[in-house]
């Protein structure tokens, strides 16, 4: 095996989800907080567009490697509608989900040894994708005391002459943190001042709660435009994780280079899925408004119940669909005859003892935390967190 591929670890979030699903399939009453996907079906009008496309032989063929021209146009229009950011369809590359968008974008701009600043807790795919593209991830850790938001001072302390890119994601996976306009602007201006590229992951743009607001970085800081890459997709907004449609928006030459890469690696995204994505991004946002309401309700329930547990502290997430509680105070305590020393061990204990799947913070670069997705039914959510409450109430010194 090559050193490059051998060094990649399995996606911990997918692994937890797979384990929970396998236990469930074996008849165990497992409740899974591992998955990063909405529990709702894809809205009907999107499914209908795909059914129609399936019946039309035109959609049985290859599309251009970079995506259907109609979809690129629809993505450009959607970006203007939702973010106020004007781009040309030639600046859009349609990818196999946000994951491929991230890899293709990094592969297009990184040379060996180039450093990418990655705020932590980070989504588990970012560092692997950066390394795979030859880059070096440089972590900047923010903890619960700042709501998991990094400061310009922290970013500046991590900057070296090899720093090429800042990765920015708001709302964030795994913490649900959303940067306020002022903080986001300060970070964008700092990046622009130092001539850095910014890769901004906007996949959770429509999932913000309360007073939190999503703002697109290149709109806040127009000076970033020529060095800004946006990653987005239909997965989270339209409950379309399985359809695999995402996109990159960036300067034309970068998009062209990333398209060349994709033309050899995977070619076009499923033509039928692209037809569905056209319906998604050009339709209204009513379905996501409904989902947002449900997520918001579940968010409040989950955070309240988690904070009722002695030794657990969970800042209120303002976006996405994850809670990221600190469990540091529980580590080393005795629970049912075991003394978990790490969040990996605690997550394993929770799965073994009460059949609830959560992802340990180690997967996101910050041991001592757990990630729980609240994208599951209300009843299961309450049952799952109640089981955790009961188990952790047994912790003793």
Ligand X SMILES: Cc1ncc(COP(=O)(O)O)c(C=O)c1O
For ligand X, give the closer residue by CB, 11 or 154: 11
Minimum Å gap between C-beta 116 and ligand X is 15
CB 280 within 8 A of CB 45: no
For ligand X, give the closer residue by CB, 37 or 353: 37
CB 299 within 8 A of CB 323: yes
Minimum Å gap between C-beta 3 and ligand X is 26
Measured between alpha carbons, how far is 286 from 289 in angstroms, rounded to an integer?
A: 5
Burial (0-12, 13-18, 19+ Cβ within 10 Å), 174:
buried
Candidate list 85, 106, 123, 321; residue touching ligand X; CB under 6 A: 123
| Using rule CB under 6 A, residue 176 touches ligand X | no
For ligand X, give the closer residue by CB, 32 or 36: 36
Q: Which three-class secondary structure state does DSSP give residue 96?
A: coil
Measured between alpha carbons, how far is 38 from 295 in angstroms, rounded to an integer?
A: 9
- Mark residues 242-261: x for contact with ligand X by CB under 6 A, - for none: ----x---------------
Say what the alpha-carbon torsion angle 336, 342, 343, 346 is, to the nearest 10 degrees: -10
Residue nearest to ligand X (CB): 97
Closest of 196, 199, 112, 117 to residue 158, by C-alpha: 117
Candidate list 36, 121, 127, 218; residue touching ligand X; CB under 6 A: 36
Token readout for 193 is: 């001042």
| Using rule CB under 6 A, residue 241 touches ligand X | yes
For ligand X, give the closer residue by CB, 203 or 291: 203
- Mark residues 42-81: x for contact with ligand X by CB under 6 A, - for none: ----------------------------------------
For ligand X, give the closer residue by CB, 191 or 273: 273
Candidate list 144, 201, 205, 318; residue touching ligand X; CB under 6 A: 201
CB 148 within 8 A of CB 142: yes
For ligand X, give the closer residue by CB, 197 or 204: 204
Candidate list 32, 66, 98, 317; residue touching ligand X; CB under 6 A: 98
Contacts of 279 (CB under 8 A, 6+ apart): 45, 46, 48, 49, 50
Which uninterrupted H or E stretch holds 231? strand 228-233
Candidate list 99, 149, 292, 371; residue touching ligand X; CB under 6 A: 99
Q: Which residues bind ligand X (CB under 6 A)?
A: 36, 97-99, 123, 169, 173, 201, 203, 233, 235, 241, 246
């Amino acid at each position: 095996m090559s050193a490059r591929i051998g060094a990649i670890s399995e996606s911990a979030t997918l692994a937890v989800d797979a384990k929970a699903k396998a236990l469930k399939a074996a008849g165990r009453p497992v409740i899974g907080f591992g998955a990063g996907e909405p529990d709702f079906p894809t809205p009907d009008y999107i499914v209908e567009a795909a059914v129609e496309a399936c019946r039309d032989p035109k959609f049985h063929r290859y599309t251009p490697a970079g995506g259907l021209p109609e979809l690129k146009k629809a993505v450009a229009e959607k970006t203007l509608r939702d973010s106020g950011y004007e781009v040309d369809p030639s600046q859009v590359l349609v990818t196999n989900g946000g994951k491929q968008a991230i890899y293709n974008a990094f592969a297009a701009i990184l040379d060996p040894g180039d450093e990418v600043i990655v705020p932590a807790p980070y989504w588990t795919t970012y560092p692997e994708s950066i390394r795979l593209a030859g880059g070096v991830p440089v972590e900047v850790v923010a903890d619960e005391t700042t709501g998991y938001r990094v400061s310009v001072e922290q970013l500046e302390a991590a900057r070296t002459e090899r720093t090429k890119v800042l990765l920015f994601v708001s709302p964030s996976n795994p913490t649900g943190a959303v940067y306020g306009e002022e903080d986001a602007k300060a970070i964008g201006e700092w990046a622009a001042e130092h001539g850095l590229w910014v890769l901004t992951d906007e996949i959770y743009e429509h999932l913000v709660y309360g007073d939190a607001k999503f703002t697109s970085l290149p709109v806040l800081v127009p000076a970033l435009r020529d060095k800004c890459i946006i990653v987005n997709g239909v997965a989270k907004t339209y409950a379309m994780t399985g359809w695999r449609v995402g996109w990159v928006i960036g300067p034309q030459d970068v998009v062209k280079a990333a398209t060349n890469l994709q033309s050899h690696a995977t070619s076009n995204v499923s033509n039928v899925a692209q037809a569905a994505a056209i319906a998604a991004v050009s339709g209204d946002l009513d379905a996501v408004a409904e989902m947002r309401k449900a997520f918001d309700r579940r968010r409040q329930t989950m955070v309240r119940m988690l904070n009722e547990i002695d030794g657990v502290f969970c800042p209120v997430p303002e976006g996405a669909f994850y809670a990221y509680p600190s469990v540091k105070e529980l580590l080393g305590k005795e629970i049912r005859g075991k003394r978990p020393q790490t969040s990996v061990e605690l997550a394993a204990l929770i799965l073994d003892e009460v059949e609830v799947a959560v992802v340990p913070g180690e997967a996101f670069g910050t041991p001592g935390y757990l990630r729980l997705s609240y994208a599951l039914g209300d009843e299961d959510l309450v049952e799952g967190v109640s089981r955790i409450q009961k188990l952790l109430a047994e912790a003793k010194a």
